[in-house]
A and B are shown apart, each in its own frame.
Chain A
Amino acid sequence: MTKHTLTPENWIGLYADQLLSYAVVRVPERDAAKDLVQDTFFTALRSKDSFRGEISEKNWLYLILRSRILDYYKKRKEVLESDLAPDDDDDTFDDNGHWMDSRLPQEWSTDSIVQNKEFMHVFLQCKSGLKVLQAQVFSMKYIDGEETETICKELGITSSNYWVLIHRAKLQLRNCIEKNWFTK
């Protein structure tokens, strides 16, 4: 097996933009994404003696960034707990659990949208509008394709917390995308 080596002098040129593109779809603000990438490089430099060359430099940097992103959410633990408040129930449904008139889903015409850059920005903006923990659960599930059990473990939440969060996230996001793109 070939041993991988580190060449920190090339990191910025090779990986800065790639890592930023990765971070920007996973955290709510662009500036936070930039800080996390910068942090990733510093952390990598500081721990470069622990690099054993078993994975590529690039994958190693991605792993560090991924753990920086998790830490970023963990630091917001107080905020996170308020996301689970039972009275936080959104205004999507009435007391009988039926759709509110203003939230009734409308038909979308989704042809040829998937690679549309402007649409992607609306999508990300809507995701940024979610509560912190909702956004995190959504990213881990739908962007990273993580297992539910992994998400619960990493964020320290129960499976019923998970379902509440993912449900609220999906309802909010769907509504936001509809209002800001499809019926605009």
Chain B
Amino acid sequence: MINCKESTRLSLKKEQKKISLRERIMLSFHHLMCKYCRIFDRQSAWIARVSSTLHISESFSDEEKAHIEMKMKEFK
């Protein structure tokens, strides 16, 4: 029988397609009994999906851009 720490580790292996058949069976058994690890498993997969589409638009201020531009000119 595996504990929750091990079960969450196996959830990650499953998510990254590195889980063996034996581990998959152990994980399923644990999930039958443990609601919290089932929640973790689902949320962990969700986080993986969100991460792959993570996008934030950041910009430099005009002053910062001018500053970099000036320093670039010094290179020539």
Whether the Cβ atoms of A143 and B54 lie closer than 8 Å is yes
Whether the Cβ atoms of B47 and A45 lie closer than 8 Å is no
Q: Give the docked Cα–Cα distance between A3 and B71 (Å).
A: 28
Interface hub of B46, B56, B64 (most chain A Cβ within 10 A): B56
Beta-carbon contacts under 8 Å, A24-58 to B: 24-25, 30, 33-34, 37-38, 41-42, 45-46
Partner-contacting stretch, out of A61-69, A71-79, A103-111: A103-111
B-facing mask of A108-151, CB < 8 A → 1, else 0? 10100110010011011000000000000010011101001000
A residues in contact with B43, CB < 8 Å: 105, 108, 174, 178
B residues in contact with A33, CB < 8 Å: 58
Knowing A17-B59, A24-B58, A120-B54, the reply to whether A170 touches B47 (Cβ < 8 A) is: yes
Q: Give the docked Cα–Cα distance between A13 and B75 (Å).
A: 18
Q: Does A167 contact B (CB under 8 A)?
A: yes
Whether the Cβ atoms of B54 and A123 lie closer than 8 Å is yes
A-B contact count (CB 8 A): 112
Whether the Cβ atoms of B52 and A143 lie closer than 8 Å is yes
Summarize A's interface: helix, strand, loop or mixed. helix
Task: Name the interface size band of chain A.
Answer: 35 or more
Whether the Cβ atoms of A93 and B4 lie closer than 8 Å is yes
Summarize B's interface: helix, strand, loop or mixed. helix
Q: Does A16 contact B (CB under 8 A)?
A: yes
Write the chain A residue with the least CB distance to B13.
A163
Q: Does A96 contact B (CB under 8 A)?
A: yes
A residues in contact with B58, CB < 8 Å: 17, 20-21, 24, 30, 33
Q: Give the docked Cα–Cα distance between A124 and B56 (Å).
A: 9
A-facing mask of B46-69, CB < 8 A → 1, else 0? 111111111111111000110011
Q: Give the docked Cα–Cα distance between A124 and B65 (Å).
A: 24
Whether the Cβ atoms of A98 and B3 lie closer than 8 Å is yes
16 more contacts with CB within 8 A, not counting A16-B65, A37-B60, are A16-B60, A20-B60, A25-B55, A34-B64, A41-B68, A45-B76, A93-B5, A96-B3, A97-B5, A98-B4, A113-B50, A142-B51, A167-B12, A170-B44, A173-B47, A174-B44
Q: Footprint of B on A, CB under 8 Å? A: 8, 11-13, 16-17, 20-21, 24-25, 30, 33-34, 37-38, 41-42, 45-46, 92-93, 96-99, 104-108, 110, 113-114, 117, 120-121, 123-124, 138, 141-143, 145, 148, 163, 166-167, 170-171, 173-174, 177-178
